[in-house]
Amino acid sequence: MTRGHVLVISRRHAEKLGDLRDAEGGALGSWLPALSRAVCKVTGVSDWNTVQNNGIRAAQVVPHVHFHIIPRPETVPSLQARSWTMFGKGQREDLDDDEGAKLAGEMREVLRMELGRAGEAEEEAGKAKL
C-alpha cells in the first residue's frame, strides 16, 4: 500500500456494491470527494485511484463492500507488467506505528477542514437560492 491509502467501508455488512441499500450507497459515495481531497493534501499527490471490486473474478479479496483511495506519488516504479502495478501490487510501503498515528492525525485534521468548507459552501448556496 502507498502512504495515505484509505479504505471507505459500509457499517452494515454487504458483500457487493449491489447488496447495499440505496441510502447506504449514497452515504458511502458522499464521503469519496472529501476523503480524496484530504488524501491529496496530506500526501502531496495530485493523482490517485478510487477502486471498488465486486466478486472474486473482479479481484475482490475481502467479501465486504469497500472503496480504496490510493494516492499515486510521482515516484511510481517503472515495471513491465502494468496490470500488476495499477492497484499497487508490489509497491508496498511499511509505516511504523508512530508514522501511522501521525498520518492518521493529519488526515483527520484536513478532513475536518474539508467538511467545514463543504458545510459553508452548502450554506452559501442555500442563501443564494432564497
Active site residue 13: no
Higher pLDDT, 14 or 92: 14
| Residue pointed to by grid coordinates 479481484 | 59
Is the CA virtual torsion 65, 25, 9, 68 positive or negative?
A: positive
Quickly list H helices, the chain.
22-43, 82-85, 97-129
pLDDT of residue 117: 82
Higher pLDDT, 94 or 14: 14
- pLDDT score of 84 more than 50: no
Q: Is the pTM of this model over 0.75?
A: yes
- pLDDT score of 89 more than 60: no
Closest among 102, 113, 116 to 4, alpha carbons compared:
102
Catalytic residue among 5, 13, 64, 66: 66
pLDDT of residue 2: 85
**Pairing verdict, β 6-9 and 66-71:** antiparallel
